[in-house]
Amino acid sequence: KAGVTQTPRYLIKTRGQQVTLSCSPISGHRSVSWYQQTPGQGLQFLFEYFSETQRNKGNFPGRFSGRQFSNSRSEMNVSTLELGDSALYLCASSPGTRNQPQHFGDGTRLSIL
Amino acid sequence: TQLLEQSPQFLSIQEGENLTVYCNSSSVFSSLQWYRQEPGEGPVLLVTVVTGGEVKKLKRLTFQFGDARKDSSLHITAAQPGDTGLYLCAGEGNQFYFGTGTSLTVIP
């Protein structure tokens, strides 16, 4: 069974630009969650999508947005990039029901210059 | 505010030693997961515990879920260099809440 696939693996952008990250979940998984990981803050929850609807949202500004398609693939968009947005962005998928763990992709390393 | 606190934050031990990592919260979770993450990779699921008081063993790793489903521990027996990594606990509520992480280094 293929795992969670995130593209691209690495990305370099400059301040003020915008970026779109992609996540393909494990086949059959309907829930996709996005996290930001930094050395200082650890894993911070961005949002979760389930069946194309945002089910939960973390405490991030509106510059961070996402969407999910009918095939469960998800994209995350960050607009007006800031230096502090440099991080590893992780996507995790799960069936979306109780007591079913999340499985992570290897992340997209975003660097803002 | 971090919902789940892990301790210790950093741990450096010799190969063959035993260790315990703790994951504590004041909140009740329906399940709790432990992950290990290596540099440049995403977290890899080690175990899920669901029932209060549950104990699960994975080779040299023993996981316990507290009776009240608020805390958990991970015990490693005879640590190996391959155990080196960042250990993360995650509690399931209306979303998954991640702990602060424990960075383990096992020295050969």
Contacts of A53-57 with CB under 8 Å at 24 or more apart are: A55/A31, A56/B94, A56/B95
- Reported as a pLDDT band with limits 50, 70 and 90, residue B95 is confident
CA max distance for chain A: 40
pLDDT computed for residue B2 by the predictor:
64
**Rounded Cα distance, A47 and A49, in Å:** 7
**Rounded Cα distance, B5 and B22, in Å:** 8
Q: Provide the percentage of residues in chain B whose pLDDT is more than 90.
A: 90
Q: Which of B50, B95, B99 sits opposite A45 (nearest CB)?
A: B95
Phi-psi label, residue B68: left if phi above 0, alpha if psi -120 to 50, beta otherwise: alpha
**Rounded Cα distance, A52 and A21, in Å:** 16
pLDDT tens-digit map of A60-94: 999 999 999 999 999 999 999 999 999 999 999 99
* A81–chain B nearest CA distance, Å: 22
pLDDT tens-digit map of A21-43: 999 999 999 999 999 999 888 89
A101 interface with B at CB cutoff 8 Å: yes
- Reported as a pLDDT band with limits 50, 70 and 90, residue A103 is very high
In terms of Cβ atoms closer than 10 Å to its own Cβ (0-12, 13-18, 19+), residue A100 is: middle
| Side chain identity, residue A75 | E
A33 neighbourhood in chain B, CB within 8 Å? 95-96
Measure CA of the first residue to CA of the last residue in chain B; give whole Å.
36
Most B CBs within 10 Å, among A102, A108, A109, to test the B interface: A102
Residue B99, strand partner residues: B4
Backbone angles phi, psi at A51, to 5 degrees: 50, 50
**Rounded Cα distance, A3 and A92, in Å:** 10
| Side chain identity, residue B18 | N
* A64–chain B nearest CA distance, Å: 18
Q: How far is CA A78 from CA A49, B40, B86, in A?
A: 16, 21, 27
A99 neighbourhood in chain B, CB within 8 Å? 30-31, 48, 50, 92
